[in-house]
Amino acid sequence: MTPVTIYHNPACGTSRNTLALIRNSGVEPTVVEYLKTPPTRGELADLIRRMGVPVRAVLREKGTPFAELGLGDPALGDDQLLDAMMAHPILINRPIVVTPLGVRLCRPSEAVLDILPDAQRGAFAKEDGEQVVDAAGQRIDKAS
């Protein structure tokens, strides 16, 4: 079985949709409810490094103490942003998915399809009804 880990918040629709897409590929991932069991500072820094994005790109604003903590200040460095995420794990944007093909912040949820080693096993629609995968297990291109 392909090892897949999702840093998940069950209260988040995007996170729930991503988890369902992983399961639709036939994989039961390791689910880390990061609000209950946050990654260590080193683990978080490593995930961000492996995603190839700036620390600020993983910082969640909506529904968090982002504004109250003044985290929009561009003078704040990576260490200060990581400190804030360690003190307030809700600031870690989600879901982050780790597979043998890479690490990705899966927003939108179908971004997970780019790093899942196993194909989708059937049609998939998000919680809001949006079709993402057709009956043949193929990603639906929104541009068409």
Catalytic residues: 12
AA identity, residue 112: V
- What CA–CA distances, in Å, run from 57 to 26, 61, 72, 106, 130? 30, 10, 12, 12, 26
Within the chain, strands assigned E span 5-8, 30-33, 96-99, 102-105, 124-125, 131-133
* 103 contact partners, CB below 8 Å, separation of at least 6: 47, 50, 51, 96, 97, 115
